[in-house]
A and B are shown apart, each in its own frame.
Chain A
Amino acid sequence: DAMVIQNPRYQVTQFGKPVTLSCSQTLNHNVMYWYQQKSSQAPKLLFHYYDKDFNNEADTPDNFQSRRPNTSFCFLDIRSPGLGDAAMYLCATSRDFKGGILAKNIQYFGAGTRLSVL
């Protein structure tokens, strides 16, 4: 089955120690997203790649960076995690239909990585 896979499912890091979360997809979608979700809150978009074009949200801290080496993989790097960065991190993909009749944004999510910061 085509899917979005996030590794690891659980990640524990120390305060200030860099950490990388990974996401891979077999859907061949051209758009990939990273969301942060804290308890009882809405998923908050951090940034997304439209093909190779990186789009950062205005309120995403500089501490968060991303890499997309190819269509299938996307990484979230947290350079110096703070206690406030403990959250669920969700990766999603979508296929752009702008060339078609209608552009529909249905995003497909991975199971998420729960990050703990000690």
Chain B
Amino acid sequence: DQQVKQNSPSLSVQEGRISILNCDYTNSMFDYFLWYKKYPAEGPTFLISISSIKDKNEDGRFTVFLNKSAKHLSLHIVPSQPGDSAVYFCAVSNFGNEKLTFGTGTRLTIIP
């Protein structure tokens, strides 16, 4: 029973354009959402997060959007750069709970 789904295993985007990665979750009780980025041969690194009291959080080129009614979050990267090529995992949690549930990841390739 997958609680977190990333339906696109891979995505290719031209350098300079916007990359949009999507994530859907099933449990409306989740209230904290994160994106992680993973390069080959490295562990996942935290990228950006959002709590359920917001619908948008921005950090430089990265913006996360949360649509609670649709149980959907997305990560926008603009402009996309070659160094953004990586696997992106979304993760969900509850405040006060130390556990995360991860999606299966989306491999983003930025084409120069």
Question: Which A positions have Cβ atoms within 8 angstroms of B?
Answer: 4, 6, 31, 40-43, 45, 48, 50, 90, 92, 94, 96, 98, 102-112
Query: Which residue of B36, B43, B104 contacts A41 across the interface (Cβ within 8 Å)?
Result: B104
The distance in angstroms between the C-alpha atoms of A110 and B95, with both chains bound, is 23
Query: Which residue of A41, A43, A50, A90 contacts B98 across the interface (Cβ within 8 Å)?
Result: A50
Q: How large is the interface on B (under 10, 10 to 19, 20 to 34, 35 or more residues)?
A: 20 to 34
Taking a contact as CB atoms under 8 Å apart, the answer to whether A106 and B89 are in contact is no
B100 near A: Cβ within 8 Å? yes
Report chain B residues within 8 Å CB of A90. Answer: 43-44
Q: In the complex, how many residue pairs between chain A and chain B have their CB atoms under 8 Å apart?
A: 61
Chief secondary structure at chain B's binding surface: loop
Question: Which B positions have Cβ atoms within 8 angstroms of A?
Answer: 2, 4, 9, 32, 34, 36, 41-46, 49, 51, 89, 93, 95-105
B29 shortest CB reach to chain A, Å = 15
Q: Name, among A6, A42, A45, the residue most crowded by chain B CB atoms within 10 Å (CB to CB).
A: A42
Can you give 6 contacting A-B residue pairs, CB < 8 Å?
A6-B43, A40-B9, A42-B105, A45-B99, A48-B99, A107-B46
Taking a contact as CB atoms under 8 Å apart, the answer to whether B98 and A109 are in contact is no
